[in-house]
């Protein structure tokens, strides 16, 4: 073996190792973040923490019940808006692959996906908060729904595109009207893909803060009224983390832990569920 060849092989091996090291380097920050949040957060979690609202500055204790409830309500309303609209739009795009409207609509969904979340917040402020005369959880839900839409639409479209035409033909040949072909055959057969899109979109917006700053706004008290300001986990974390009080930091760590667990569980269960629910074609 000549020297040049040896050198080339050594170089190849070295770069292989270097690439692997660089690739796995990204594990470090994730582990650092996860372990830190778990360490700082888990000690704060107890029953009291989950069912009480924050105490004023200076008083120890207090919980995040208002933020937990608020996050659930805001996300539920956002999902109630985004899921049906998103699935219908995905159906339209997969049924009309090349129509002019489909191309325009697809372009707009792409644009929407890239809009910075803070801009969504501004727009929701002018569409809902200003006309309705005040911050409200509902306006926050609309802002989050706008962020969920592209994910739901995209995953629905991609899933339905992959279903064979024979499936639709079989249903049409039985005299099934179009809407029932879609609702009873096409969507059930693509349910795993659609569902994973829905869950990922929930996971994505569950941690969104920027669109809520000028919409849901936050609220130190427990509230279930969607026409009034409402607290949410990410808002609480942002406000308390940037405050100078240690008690509030503790609350924020506990809230971070819960938010992180919620988001990661959603991601993981999406994976497990799609595997299990996959329809055998």
Partner 1 sequence: MDSTTIINDTLNLSDISREVIGIVKTPVITGSKLKRLYKQIRSESIFKKLLVIVAVAMVILVAGILFTLIVESIPSIKALGIKYLWGKTWDPVQDIYGAYPFLLGTLLTSFLAILISVPFSIAIAVFLGEYYPKGWLTEFLKNTVELIAAVPSVIYGFWGLAVLVPLVRSFEIKIGVDAVGVGIFSSALILAIMIIPYAASLGRSVIQMVPSSLKEGAYSLGATRWEVIRHIILPYTKSGLFAGILLSLGRALGETMAVTMVIGNTSIIPKNIFAPGNTMASVIANEFTEADKPVYLSALIELGLVLFLLTVVINMIGRRIIKKFTND
Partner 2 sequence: MESTVIKTVDYNAYFGDNRVVKDVNISIPKNHVIAVMGPSGCGKTTFLRGINRMHELIPHAKADGKIFLHNEDVMQMHPIFVRLKIGMVFQRPNPFPNLSIYDNVIAGYKLNGIKLQRADKDKIVEEALTKVALWNEVKDSLRKKGTFLSGGQQQRLCIARAVAMLPEVLLFDEPTSALDPISTSTVEELFHELKKNYTLIIVTHNMQQAARVSDRTAFFYMGELVEYDDIKKMFTNPKDNRTQNYITGRFS
Positions touching partner 2 (CB under 8 A) are: 164, 166-177, 180-181, 184-185, 188-189, 191, 279-281
Q: Which of 61, 41, 62 is nearest to 53 (CA)?
A: 62
Interacting residue with partner 1 among 56, 58, 114, 244 (CB under 8 A): 114
Q: DSSP per residue over the chain, as a string?
A: --HHHHHHHHHHHHHHHHHHHHHHHTHHHHHHHHHHHHHHHHTT-SHHHHHSPBPPTT---B--HHHHHHHHHHHHHHHHHHHHHHHHHHHHHHHSSS-HHHHHHHHHHHHHHHS-HHHHHHHHIIIIIHHHTS--HHHHHHHHHHHHHHHHHHHHHHHHHHS-HHHHHHHHHTT--HHHIIIIIIHHHTHHHHHHHHHHHHHHHHT--HHHHTTTB--SS----TTS-B--HHHHHHHHHTSS-HHHHHHHHHHHHHHHHHHHHHHHHHHHHHHHHPPP-
For position 30 contacting partner 1 by CB under 8 A, the verdict is: yes
Q: Is the dihedral of CA 211, 34, 52, 78 positive or negative?
A: positive
| Candidate residues 1, 3, 22, 173; the one interacting with partner 1 per rule CB under 8 A | 22
123 touches partner 1 (CB under 8 A): yes
In the list 51, 76, 80, 108, the residue contacting partner 1 (rule: CB under 8 A) is 108
For Cα atoms 201, 213, 148, give the angle at the middle one, nearest 5 degrees.
15
- Residue list 65-94, contact with partner 1 (CB under 8 A): 85, 88-89, 91-93
Q: Which of residues 178-237 bind partner 1 (CB under 8 A)?
A: 178-180, 182, 203-204, 206-210, 213-214, 217, 234, 237
Which residues, 147 to 166, sit near partner 1 by CB under 8 A? 149, 153
Q: Which is nearer to partner 1, 62 or 211 (CB)?
A: 211
Q: Which of 50, 51, 76, 115 binds partner 1 (CB under 8 A)?
A: 115
Cβ at position 176, least distance to partner 1 in Å: 9
Minimum gap (Å) between residue 177 Cβ and partner 1:
4
Tell me how far CA of residue 269 lies from CA of 134, 199, 203, 272, 278, in angstroms. 37, 9, 11, 5, 14
Q: Residue 33, interface with partner 1 (CB under 8 A)?
A: yes
Q: Which stretch binds partner 1 (CB under 8 A): 25-33, 49-57, 190-198, 223-231?
A: 25-33
- Please identify, using beta-carbon distances, which residue of 89 and 181 lies nearer to partner 2: 181
Cβ at position 188, least distance to partner 2 in Å: 5
Of residues 244 through 273, those in contact with partner 1 by CB under 8 A are 252-253, 256, 259-260, 263-264, 267
Instruction: Determine if 110 is a binding residue for partner 1 (CB under 8 A).
Output: yes
188 binds, among partner 2, partner 1, none (CB under 5 to 8 A by kind): partner 2
Q: With respect to partner 2, which residue has the nearer C-beta, 2 or 280?
A: 280
């Amino acid at each position: 073996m000549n020297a040049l060849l040896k050198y080339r092989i050594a170089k190849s091996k070295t770069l292989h190792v270097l690439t692997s090291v660089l690739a796995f380097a990204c594990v470090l920050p994730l582990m650092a973040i996860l372990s830190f949040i778990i360490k700082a957060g888990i000690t704060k979690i107890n029953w009291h923490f989950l069912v009480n609202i924050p105490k004023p500055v200076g008083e120890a204790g207090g919980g995040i019940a208002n933020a937990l409830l608020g996050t659930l309500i805001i996300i539920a309303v956002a999902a109630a808006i985004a899921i049906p609209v998103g699935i219908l739009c995905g159906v339209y795009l997969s049924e009309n692959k090349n129509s002019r409207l489909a191309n325009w609509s697809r372009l707009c969904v792409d644009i929407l996906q890239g809009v910075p979340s803070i801009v969504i917040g501004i727009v929701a402020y002018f569409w809902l908060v200003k006309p309705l005369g005040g911050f409200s959880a509902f306006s926050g839900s609309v802002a989050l729904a706008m962020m969920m839409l592209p994910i739901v639409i995209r995953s629905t479209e991609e899933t339905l595109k992959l279903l064979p035409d024979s499936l639709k033909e079989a249903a049409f040949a039985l005299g099934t009207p179009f809407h029932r072909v879609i609702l009873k055959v096409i969507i059930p057969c693509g349910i795993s893909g659609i569902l994973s899109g829905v869950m990922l979109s929930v996971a994505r917006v569950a941690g969104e803060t920027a669109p809520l700053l000028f919409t849901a706004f936050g609220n130190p008290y427990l509230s279930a009224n969607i026409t009034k300001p409402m607290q949410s986990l990410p808002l609480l974390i942002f406000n308390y983390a940037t405050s100078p009080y240690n008690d509030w930091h503790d609350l924020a760590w506990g809230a971070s832990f819960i938010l992180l667990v919620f988001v990661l569980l959603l991601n993981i269960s999406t994976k497990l569920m799609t595997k299990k629910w996959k329809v055998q074609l």
